[in-house]
Amino acid sequence: MGKLEPPSSRSQLFFIGKDSRGNWVVQDQQHLRGGLFIARAEALRFAMFENGHRPQAVVMVPGVFELDLSGKPSVVQQPAAQIAAPRARRVPEGLLSFPAAPAVVPA
């Protein structure tokens, strides 16, 4: 077996920046691939792998950069202090936000 090859995206730009929560965001130029990362090094490693190890195809975005896989990149020009932090929401006891285990339906 050979070395893993990235998808055919050698001509794509990848944007890297921080979102309003402090996560590192990576998003490709066509908004089809991307992700959230805790560390800048991991975000850069992902972008480099996806673009065929071309550092000239990685763009660092100043300001707040939110992940958006459905449209154009969203760069907020206002300071992060002015962005409202999401509020914690209390989940009533006994309710889960997702199923504990997948339901098995007999055939």
Q: Mean pLDDT by 10-residue block, N- to C-terminus, for the chain (107 residues)?
A: 52 89 93 92 95 93 87 51 53 51 56
Instruction: For the chain, give every domain's residue range.
Output: 14-78
pLDDT at 89: 55
8 A C-beta contact, residue 12 and residue 26: no
Q: Which residue has the tokens 């691939």?
A: 33
pLDDT at 94: 53
Q: What Rg, from alpha-carbon coordinates, does the chain have?
A: 18
Cβ burial of 19 (10 Å; 0-12, 13-18, 19+) is middle
Q: Name the pTM for this structure.
A: 0.57
Cα end-to-end distance, the chain, whole Å: 40
pLDDT at 48: 94
